[in-house]
Structure 1
Amino acid sequence: MRVRPKDPWPRRTVDWLVKNLFSSWFNTLLTLVSLWVIYFTVTRVWRWATETAVWAVIPANFQLFLVGVYPRDQLWRFHVILGVFAVLTALSVAAALNRDFGRKAMRWLVTPWLLFLPGSMFLLWGLPGSETLPHVQTSSWGGLTLTLVLAAVGIAGSLPIGILLALGRRSSLPVISVFSTFFIETVRGTPLVAIIFMAHLMVPIFLPGVTIDRVIRAMIGLTLFTSAYMAENVRGGLQSIPKGQYEAAQALGMSPALTMILVILPQALRSVLPSIVGQFISLFKDTSLVAIIGLMDLLGIARSITANPAWAGLQAETFLFIAIIYWIFCFALSYGSRRLERMLGLERPS
């Protein structure tokens, strides 16, 4: 049978345009209107960015955006953390792109990534009484560094807590099931702003005589809030597992605990991976709410800069810059999620 050769790419491009954008008079009208709106918006934004905007506010305060008021003589800690993060990211990307050794390399990289967060926290915190690594109060943490720390701690804490809550809600023990359900529904029915305020004001009440830092209280609020939503995502994955998986594990003589850990949970987490990453992205953006309790995260730094009379009237440039930063990190999480889905075979062919 003779195979028909493919048309040249200009012909295929024209066919695609006609089929998708100009297939009828209504689609043609929508296409032309959309092109006009895009042209109008892009030209106005470009003209503002190149002729009207004053971008001097960004380089003048770039260090504030990154680390806040962290002691300048201790910025080497931030550089070390950034270097380690860059190396781990480069190795992870290389492993993801290498089909032959990717999976093996990923296993070796799990431990460094797990140690990266506590190691970074220790380096930023320091040691009380040490001259080489002096203790730095969290009140000096700020900018993008604080935002990333809050997001990383929330992600690392909310996933295991969410898994336990999801299992607890499905438990046959009434006490555990009722407690898990009550916690999940109460937290999901409360705005994050209220949760952050409650963590900020009520944690010291429940722990009298114990001084808890404001950053730690914000971490607790963000972690508890996200864990409730994470529990529902995990529960949805657990409900998607067919009953035959449980029966097969029982036929192999596996205990209920081993069945859940080795058979059910891996499949459940795999099936709800997009929802989990979406929750992580939402958590990263929600960290901006800690500015209401006085923490100088990325948004708090931006607000303090625009309140400075020297930079008055430059709110658009400042907030557009931090919006781009948020978008870069959220896009990186989304792209990493798609790559992981492709490696796990979750992406369906279109």
Structure 2
Amino acid sequence: MTATTSNSTFRTEMIEARRAPDQRRGVSGWLRANLFSSPLNSVVSIVVILVIARLIWPLLEWAVIDANFIGASRDACTGAGACWAFIGARFDSIIYGFYPEGARWRVDIVFAMLAILVAWLAVPRLPQKKWVALFALVGFPIIAYFLLLGGSFGLEYVPTRAWGGLMLTLTIAVVGIVGSLPIGILLALGRRSQMPFVKAVCVIFIEFWRGVPLITVLFMASVMLPLFVPGNIEFDKLLRALVGIMLFWSAYMAEVIRSGLQAISKGQDEAGKALGLSYWHRMGLIILPQALKLVIPGIVNTFIALFKDTSLVLIIGLLDMLAIIRAGLTDTNWLGFSTEGYVFAALVYWVFCFSMSRYSQYIERRLNTGHKN
């Protein structure tokens, strides 16, 4: 309501309170709040920025400014910077290994399907996630198997010894991750079981696999296992490695899951019993959903360690991405450029591991696993 006088118009009621200006928004607000909040913090921030700039600039010169990006041999790298031409010349083998060139479209289809499935499950707004997850666990492995291995539906057969590069790295990582999680959950439940025999079997399994190095597991799976089976039975080398990696990391996963189970109070289980729920209903509907939310960081940490340890399959003659890069460095056309190869491999591993880490943090915030006020 307003009142009018001969000279002006003025209000007869109070204006609603407004928020004070927020000086912390934008780039300047972030800098003021995080780097220059006090004189001491300002001095420390300036010193750290100068040190980082002093270290980053030479690296930037080597990696970008003075680098060579195109060429078919070391003769194309005449500058003082990095020779990324090595990566370009060996890129196909780094991605596909020794997979036949005419059949690499099958690998591309599998890569595309995997990327679409991961994106569909990761983006919260996309619908039908249950059906997509079911397809990812059942349909996609079958399709990927027939596409990559071939030998049916008119596709050329490609033995696993021709697999390699990033394709092999992702195959081992995806199969290991998907296989170790459910096995780890069952082992964790078995270790907490009230049945002595089940508990003893799970404890022995977990302690055995956690007590030996992964290299030993791979060596035993590749070299020693054929000695204990009939001569007419032959296990594929990649299959043996996949089984060994799944069993090895399922033991570590079991302990991660068990820590989450122990964090859930007995009252949750007792409430389920009071409602008349069976053991598996209590675990599936009440206990496990809470326990898995609590141990998301530990689960993802195990996945990251598994992904990085895929490089150990070189010990049994499987050439993953890192092994392909190392093999390419023995080419006389590229002697002396090992740094570029290892930097590229490290960057690829970092991208995948960092992506898993960031997505796990997103899941934690969405599920409020930190129990913040």
TM-score scaled to structure 2, two decimals? Answer: 0.84
Contact 1:117 1:152 in 2 (8 A): no
User: Where do 5+ consecutive residues of structure 1 fail to align?
Assistant: none
1:53–1:19 CA distance, 2 compared to 1 (3 A): closer
How far apart are residue 91 of structure 1 and its match? 3.2
Deviates more, 1:313-322 or 1:16-25: 16-25
Deviates more, 1:65-74 or 1:78-87: 78-87
3-state SS of 1:171 partner:
coil
Q: Which residue of the partner structure matches residue 191 of structure 1?
A: 213
How far apart are residue 287 of structure 1 and its match? 0.3
Matched to 1:240, the amino acid is A
How far apart are residue 12 of structure 1 and its match? 8.5
Matched to 2:20, the amino acid is P
Q: Which residue of the partner structure matches residue 134 of structure 1?
A: 156
How far apart are residue 24 of structure 1 and its match? 4.8
Larger Rg: 2
Aligned Cα RMSD in Å?
Answer: 2.3
Matched to 2:94, the amino acid is F
User: Where do 5+ consecutive residues of structure 2 fail to align?
Assistant: 1-15, 67-80
Deviation digits for residues 235-275 of structure 1 (CA, Å, limit 9, x no counterpart): 01111111111111111111223222332222222221221
1:15–1:343 CA distance, 2 compared to 1 (3 A): closer
Matched, 1:116 2:140: yes
Matched, 1:40 2:54: yes
3-state SS of 1:132 partner:
coil
For 2:58 and 2:181, the matched residues in 1 are separated by 43
Q: Which residue of the partner structure matches residue 345 of structure 1?
A: 368
- The correspondence of residues 221-260 of structure 1 with structure 2, limited to 5 A, is 221-260=244-283
Matched to 1:188, the amino acid is R
Deviates more, 1:207-216 or 1:304-313: 207-216
How far apart are residue 89 of structure 1 and its match? 3.7
1:74–1:172 CA distance, 2 compared to 1 (3 A): same
The number of aligned residues is: 341
How far apart are residue 75 of structure 1 and its match? 1.0
For 2:208 and 2:276, the matched residues in 1 are separated by 38
Deviation digits for residues 177-229 of structure 1 (CA, Å, limit 9, x no counterpart): 22211221222222222222122222223323321121112112211111011
Deviation digits for residues 128-176 of structure 1 (CA, Å, limit 9, x no counterpart): xx47212211000000000000011111111111111111211222222
Deviation digits for residues 269-290 of structure 1 (CA, Å, limit 9, x no counterpart): 2221221112111111110111
1:21–1:171 CA distance, 2 compared to 1 (3 A): same
- Percent sequence identity over aligned pairs: 43
For 1:349 and 1:252, the matched residues in 2 are separated by 30
Matched, 1:68 2:97: yes
Residue 202 of structure 1 is aligned with which of 186, 207, 224?
A: 224
Contact 1:187 1:228 in 2 (8 A): yes
Q: Which residue of the partner structure matches residue 329 of structure 2?
A: 306
Contact 2:24 2:30 in 1 (8 A): no
For 2:107 and 2:241, the matched residues in 1 are separated by 21
For 1:12 and 1:312, the matched residues in 2 are separated by 46
For 1:11 and 1:264, the matched residues in 2 are separated by 43
1:9–1:248 CA distance, 2 compared to 1 (3 A): closer
3-state SS of 1:78 partner:
helix
Q: Which has the higher helix share?
A: 1
Q: Which residue of the partner structure matches residue 86 of structure 2?
A: 57
How far apart are residue 106 of structure 1 and its match? 1.9
